[in-house]
Amino acid sequence: MRLQFINWLQEQCRNDEGNYSHQWHNFAALAIKDFHVDLGSLMDAIAPVILQVFAGIDVTAEKKWPGFSDILQKGGSDRAQGYRKTIDSNVLTTIDSTDR
């Protein structure tokens, strides 16, 4: 749906000569930013699930539920090393591949 929206938006921003208006760059930038915000929210939402399923940690007992940065190796939070000790290495490889 996002790709269809961007394609539709692109067509809406074409002028009569087939060129893009200056608005296309502004609207496209907002659509891309919106995608990244949604993706980041999704990743934060799955972090507690990963910890419960793959590490057996009951995150419901925590005052602050962990986010994705709490399980990342690079740029992770202070809690990352503690959580990462209990997660299977295959799962950690998948998690760390998102750093790209």
Residue 77 to residue 70: CA distance in whole angstroms? 5
User: Is 0.75 surpassed by the pTM of this model?
Assistant: no
One pLDDT digit (tens) per residue for the chain, 100 residues: 988 998 888 888 887 676 777 788 888 899 999 999 999 999 999 999 999 998 888 888 888 889 998 998 877 788 888 889 989 999 999 998 987 6
Domain range for 18 is 2-99
Which class for 58: exposed (0-12), middle (13-18), buried (19 or more C-beta within 10 A)? exposed
Domain count, the chain: 1
